[in-house]
Every structure is written in C-alpha cells, then in structure tokens.
Structure 1
Amino acid sequence: LQADLGQAVDYVMRAAPDAPLFAKIAMADFAYNVGIGALARSTLLQLAKAGMHERAAEQFMRWMFVAGLDYRDPKNNCRGIPVRRELQRSVYLVRL
C-alpha cells in the first residue's frame, strides 16, 4: 500500500508540479485508485497542467465506469465509486 501510494504521489509531483497542494492530493488518490497510466492519459491531468483547475476537477465525475458498467446506476451495486469521485473532486477544489 505504502509503495503504491508513494508511486502515485511521486508521479503527480513530477507531472503537475505547479498544481495546488490539494489538487495534487486528489490526483494522487485518483492515480492510486485507477492507475498512473490512466491519469497520465487523462484530460484531468492535461487541464491541471494548463492551470484550468475548475474544469480539471469536473473530470473526476467522468470516471464512473468499471468493466463497462456505470456505477452511478444503483442496480450495479457500487455506490462507492461515485462517492469517491465526488470526494476527489471536492478535495481538488480546496484552496488555502
């Protein structure tokens, strides 16, 4: 766990060094959850690197599918994914 999370944090620190602290925290959690490769290819990262943080934060809400199933749909029985994405979006937007 510690090594995987450390890799996610290290990647975010290299990929988006100018992003605000809480944006980095949210992106590291996202990378830990979906994989560094997914973050690396994402519009989320591209917008964050461009300083378009409000738009970047909204990208979390696009990541609601696992194995082709939309986890916003209650019949797919995984409310945790939408909750986690909303939490990531909210953390990303925290400003000090």
Structure 2
Amino acid sequence: MADVDLHPDRIDNLQMGYLFEHLVMRFNEQANEEAGDHFTPREVIRLMANLVYTGERDVYTPGIFRTIYDPACGTGGMLSESEKFISRPE
C-alpha cells in the first residue's frame, strides 16, 4: 500500500480534482473508452470558460457576483477553471 497523505490540509480541491480526473482517465484507458465518455477534458473546459466570459466586463468588478452552473458537477472542473479565469489579471 502506498504511503500517500490525501488529507484536505495537504491537498487542495483543485489538486484533488486533477487527481480524480487522472484516475478516471486511467480507468477509461483500461476499459478502451475515450476520456470524454466520463469527464470533460480540461482543454474543453478552458475553452468553455473563455466563451462564457467573453464580453462579461462586470464579472471582474469587485462586489459583483455570478452564479456558475456545472450541470455534470463531476470533478468541479468548470467551477475551478471559471475561478481561475475570473481571478486572472486582465
């Protein structure tokens, strides 16, 4: 058994999401399935975030709040990529 510490104090939510996606991808490969069969690849999520927030100037204003809906809500990838997109300097 591997000595791995996955306690929330050591691994943040984003890292745990990446770890989960990696495990899903590995199990899909073993079952001869495509990655997109069970989760949306990060590249696609980044593209979606860019498209969703294009022209949304208010989303960068402090005190303005938006609701982000991730219909699949598997690994939380849409939520974490949206946070990164909104938080980055313009």
TM-score scaled by structure 1? Answer: 0.28
Rg: which structure is higher?
Answer: 2
More helix by share: 1
